[in-house]
Structure 1
Amino acid sequence: MLSRDNSSAATNASLTNPDTVNVTKTEQGPSVKRTKMAVYQSYIAISELHPNFSHPKVSGMIIWKTDVKSFPDRKNVGADRFTFGFTIKDSPDFFINVAAWGSDGYINGLSSSFSIGDCVIVENPLVANKDPEKDERFQPTTPSLYRLLLTEAHSQVSLCADMDTIDRLLPLIHLPAKDSRDFYTLGDIVANGQQLDGTVVNILAAVRSTGEPRLFTTSDGRKGQRLEVKLFDDSVSSFPVVCWDREAIQFAQTWIPKETVLFIADAKISFDSFRSGMTASVNSKTIITVNPDTREASLLFSYAKQVSESGALDQDEKPEDVPVDSIVDVYTVTQLKQKAQESAEVFFGITYSFISKLDLDSSVSKVIKTRCSRCKFQVTEDAQSCTNQLCTGTDQGLSATTGFDVLVDFTDHTGTLHACTLRGPVAEKTLGCTTKEFTSLTDDERTAKKWKLLLERCKVYVKIQPSTKTRSGIRGEVVACSLSDPGEVKQHMSALLSL
């Protein structure tokens, strides 16, 4: 409800607000009954808010949220006051910061009642003028001149249940908080190097992988957590961004690797001396938009999908990064699958399994493939340039590599690991021939080579990583493979069966 002295402002707001409703009001008196139309406003638009409003009611999409923090209460010695903040958006151009203050129970209960991406109704907040230098030092920069304050005694936040309002607000979650064309590519950040150390920039990139949350304790005894996400685009294949707040970590864990594009507004860029490279971090000013509804994001999403399907990102993580001799853990196929489901981390292991699928007698084009050296997109041998429109070298002569690229199934007494990739030098060593030698073989000779390995027990060194593209949810890559020693198999199988 609005105060009487703001009736004109309320009327102006209602005329432009899409949630205004017309109500038919009937008045009865001793001798007369008349009906008139009264205009009532459901919600006040963020763009219309003013400190003079009394009991405002605002609807919006939660586009960012911070962790709950506590501070000593100056008015009540020995007690703490609790607070957290969030940002709501009700139109493409307007969003506003909201701060809630109160007791432990009120603030933690309120914080746990909604998440980023929820549509909420904020009732009876205090509309306060904001001090841009002070209020936005540790909060997102907003286009509104004001901020909203929630108090335990007077304010309320609830999830929106009106489907018309939800349908209007939902698309806003995909609109970046900053100009969608104002961003750094990962290549820009790497190229500028330490010149960007300590600065805040916008980033458009795709999610390559999401790590596991790590807990730590600071030197002064405070507990904290961190989660590292690896990003990529068409200029850099892997770039770290670190989340420190619990809210940001929980949000990051919803992102699907290689299928999610992020617009990160106000990410802090730092030089990491340990890595000898640049990193980004998410802080209280950062707003992250998932799968933005922009042309630039759409192009990057298409690129991410292509390189993911081509396996190029998997090839970037070279098996040589982990020496074969250092891989010692032995697994059954089922144990490999279980470990992959329990953790999103890449891991290596050994399995003594039969090769149950090896299509060496298919057409040569299915066994040996040519890929662009820049983007790893598959091309034909006679191509003059890369056919991937998103490749950085489309206007240049084709630089390509040709090698074995085979999918192999491994089976043991517990199950089958489907579609493991067998590529490059590892494939040459496993098959005992080079690609040139293979192309000169007759069909019968290729079949004979296939049966030297098919249905034979092998010692397989395999790299396992999560994948949304496979039916099993994991992707296997052969690091090394050879026929197994029967005595060695017996020893390890006995150990596994005794577990």
Structure 2
Amino acid sequence: MAAQSYIAISELHPSFSHLKIAGIIIGKSDVKSFPDRKKFGAERFTFGFTVKDSPDFFVNVTAWGSDSYVNGLSNSFNVGDCVTIENPLVTNKDPEKGEKFCPTTPSFCKLLVRETYSQVCLCADVGTIDRLLPLMHLPVKDSRDFYSLGDVVANGQQLDGAVINILAAVKSVGDPKLFTTSDGRQGQRLEVKLFDDSVPSFPLVCWDREAIQFAQTWIPKETVLFVADVKISFDRFRSGMAASVNSKTIITVNPDTREASLLFSYAKEVSESGGLDQDEKTEDVPVDSIIDVYTVSQLKQKAQESPDAFFGITYSFISKLDLDSSVSKVIRTRCSRCKFQVSEDAQSCTNQLCSGRDQVLTATTGFDLLVDFTDHTGTLSTCSLRSPVAETTLGCTTDQFASLTDDERTAMKWKFLLERCKIYVKILQSPRMRTGIKGVVVACSLADPGEFAVNNTVQHLKSPVKHEREPGNCGQRPGHSGHGRLRYFI
């Protein structure tokens, strides 16, 4: 379907019929039901969504119909999808009939989608999709019209009940919690922790299923939100202010604005420095003192059970090692002050929040790899392997690596890929990771066959076992220094 066959939202008029509109979904409400006035005992179902087709224009759409039609339609698309709407009914907005519960739009009209006459489907035209996708990152309000979290906290209860705009980064996304209201209705709740350069943690609460599903796509410390028309209230339980997503709220993820870019840089800076992750500040320990041996599944289980970082050894295959990617993806240069990634020829740090951005750049260059390792119990994905550990593991410096041919890099990759390795790893909880845990490789080398055979035998015993040896025992494991005791966890 050609883009020129669509009617622009800015041109909508109630006299128009047989329309085709293309837009991107920027907001969506839950499905609700109401008694059908025309059929006693029956129910009508409805939900609303907001669609945008240009930087300045977006419109609310309401769908009505049977249970199967409305729920089927709601399940067919999500926020961020591009859709086409055929043959909607165009009507004037009526503030007295529910518009106060919908997002505020610049259009004088609203659209009604009916089961019998209308059709909504995912857009299939690549050109139209490419045109619409950038609109997802444009706030629906003036990008400078927002409160910082510091402003909200400073104003305190003066803002109780107010509907405002806020700009903040995502610190963490909680798990959905189910509850039952006093009248027996089932509900759900999810809390997102926000932060900016003025406040380290601020609660944003989502109550609707659609808002909760949307929030679960946000990556902590890598996502900035412009939250338009969010309700601010005083939370007596916390004795502080909190924000709640409501039916008028439109959330723009990673807005394409200067203010959001500065906040994103700050979020990246504090994420790299670990400023918000107190549990990641566990001091590293000497490799020789790491003696606990785990399977991959045991590493995952212990990480879920304990919030504290811990160290261990795993005998696993390296199942992903992208050494044959472009050099820029293997070796990265970072500002020594804020750890922000910069180009090799940069004269100063490009992070606007870096304390040394006006000074001559001081940078470090090193390996910056993400590896997966796998054993018979599972895979631990996207573990960090950085210099100087990576240099020791690979047996070359970054300069030597950069001078290798493509074939030589591939050969180096296959020296380790799918080979059994002895991996010393630091494991900690990390909400920013999809798995909820983060692995940092402390040391890595090809495993000694004899040492692995001993380990493999112990791991296949049915009952828990602790293998102990004192320094100097004749049964010392090949390649081990003999410090402390070796323990296997089954």
Identify the TM-score tier after normalising by the shorter chain.
0.5 to 0.7
Q: Check conservation: 2:427, 2:437, Cα contact below 8 A.
A: no
| Corresponding residue SS for 2:44 | strand
Q: For residue 430 of structure 2, give the secondary structure of its aligned residue in structure 1.
A: strand
Secondary structure, counterpart of 2:52 in structure 1: strand
Q: Does 1:348 align with 2:313?
A: no
| Aligned mates of 1:175, 1:346 — CA distance in 2 | 40
Cα deviations by residue, 1:350-381 (Å, 9 ceiling, x for unpaired): 66769xxxxxxxxxxxxxxxx99xxx889xxx
2:3 equivalent in structure 1: 19
Q: Which moved more, 1:169-178 or 1:128-137?
A: 128-137
* In 1: Cα distance, 2:262 partner to 2:12 partner: 37
Matched, 1:464 2:448: no
Q: How does 1:107-256 map to 2 (within 5 A)?
A: 107-132=70-95, 134-256=97-219
SS at match of 2:106: coil
Q: Are the aligned partners of 1:346 and 1:465 in contact in 2 as well (CA < 8 Å)?
A: no
- Which 5+ residue runs of structure 1 have no aligned equivalent? 1-17, 21-41, 320-329, 355-370, 379-386, 396-412, 421-457, 479-487
Q: Quick check: 1:234–1:392 contact (8 Å CA) kept in 2?
A: no
Q: Would you say the 8 A contact 2:427–2:439 is kept in 1?
A: no
Give the drift of 1:317.
Answer: 8.4
- Judging changes above 3 Å, is the alpha-carbon distance between structure 1 residues 59 and 388 closer, same or farther for their aligned structure 2 residues? closer
> Which of 293, 307, 317 is the aligned partner of 2:270?
307
Report how far residue 475 of structure 1 moved: 5.4
| Counterpart Cα distance in 2 of 1:419 and 1:45 | 47
Structure 1 counterpart SS, 2:53 = strand
Counterpart for residue 268 of structure 1: 231
Q: What is aligned with 1:257?
A: 220
Give the residue type in structure 2 aligned to 1:347. Answer: P
Hey, what does 1:430 align to over in structure 2? none
Deviations, residues 410-440 of structure 1 (Å, cap 9, x unaligned)? xxx99999779xxxxxxxxxxxxxxxxxxxx
SS of the equivalent of 1:347 reads coil
Question: Are 2:49 and 1:104 aligned?
Answer: no
Distance 1:338 1:476 in 2: 13
Q: Does the Cα contact within 8 Å between 1:63 and 1:89 map onto a contact in 2? A: yes
Secondary structure of 1:313's aligned partner: coil
1:316 CA displacement: 8.2
Helix, strand or coil at the partner of 1:91:
coil
Q: Which residue type is aligned with residue 313 of structure 1?
A: L
Distance 1:63 1:43, change over 3 A: same
Q: Tell me, yes or no, if the aligned pair for 2:146 and 2:167 is still in contact at 8 Å.
A: yes
Contact 2:279 2:309 in 1 (8 A): no
Contact 2:9 2:57 in 1 (8 A): yes
Equivalent in the alignment of 1:84: 47
Residue identity matched to 1:338: K
Name segments (4+ residues, structure 1) moved above 6 Å: 316-319, 349-354, 392-395, 413-420, 488-495
1:160-186 C-alpha deviation (Å, 9 max, x unpaired):
111121111111111101111100111
Q: Counterpart of 2:57?
A: 94
8 Å Cα contact 1:466-1:475 kept in structure 2: no
The change in CA–CA distance for 1:171 and 1:270 in structure 2 (over 3 A counts) is same
DSSP-derived class of the 2:26 partner? strand
Shift of 1:112: 0.8
Q: Which amino acid aligns with 1:334?
A: V
Give how far 1:467 is off.
4.4
Separation in structure 2 between the aligned mates of residue 477 and residue 234 of structure 1, nearest angstrom:
31
Identity %: 65
Residue 296 of structure 2: aligned partner: 334
Aligned mate of 2:240, from 269, 277, 280: 277
Match of 2:408 in 1: none
- State the secondary structure of the residue aligned to 1:137: helix
Contact 2:90/2:109 (8 A) holds in 1 = yes
Question: Any conservation in 1 of the 2:136–2:252 contact (CA below 8 Å)?
Answer: yes
Kindly state the Cα deviation for residue 227 of structure 1 after the two structures are TM-superposed.
1.0
Q: CA deviation at 1:464?
A: 2.5
Residue type matched to 1:224 in 2? G
- 1:214-248 per-residue CA deviation (whole Å, 9 max, x = no partner) reads 11111211111111111111111111111111111
Counterpart amino acid of residue 430 in structure 2: Q
Q: Give the whole-Å Cα distance in 2 for the aligned partners of 1:79 and 1:392.
A: 62
* Residue identity opposite 2:212 in structure 1: I
Q: Which amino acid aligns with 1:180?
A: S
Distance 2:355 2:99 in 1: 42
Task: Give 1:194 shift.
Answer: 1.1
Bigger mean CA offset, 310-319 vs 285-294: 310-319
Which residue of structure 2 aligns with residue 409 of structure 1?
A: none
Q: TM-score, normalised by structure 1?
A: 0.63
Shift in alpha-carbon separation, 1:163–1:389, aligned structure 2, 3 A: closer
Q: 1:267 to 1:416 in 2, by over 3 A?
A: closer
Shift of 1:58: 1.1
Look up the equivalent residue of 2:28 and give its one-letter code. K
State the Cα RMSD in Å: 4.3
Instruction: Name the aligned partner's letter for residue 265 of structure 1.
Output: A
Are the equivalent residues in 2 in contact too, given 1:307–1:377 (CA < 8 A)? Answer: no
Larger radius of gyration: 1
Residue identity opposite 1:58 in structure 2: I
Are residue 64 (structure 1) and residue 11 (structure 2) matched?
no
**Contact 2:426–2:439 (Cα < 8 Å) also in 1:** no
- Mapped pair 1:474 → 2:442: no
- What secondary structure sits across from 1:309 in the alignment? helix
Cα distance in 2 between the residues matched to 1:164 and 1:292: 22
Any unmatched runs of 5+ in structure 2? 283-291, 315-335, 341-348, 358-374, 386-423, 443-464, 469-484
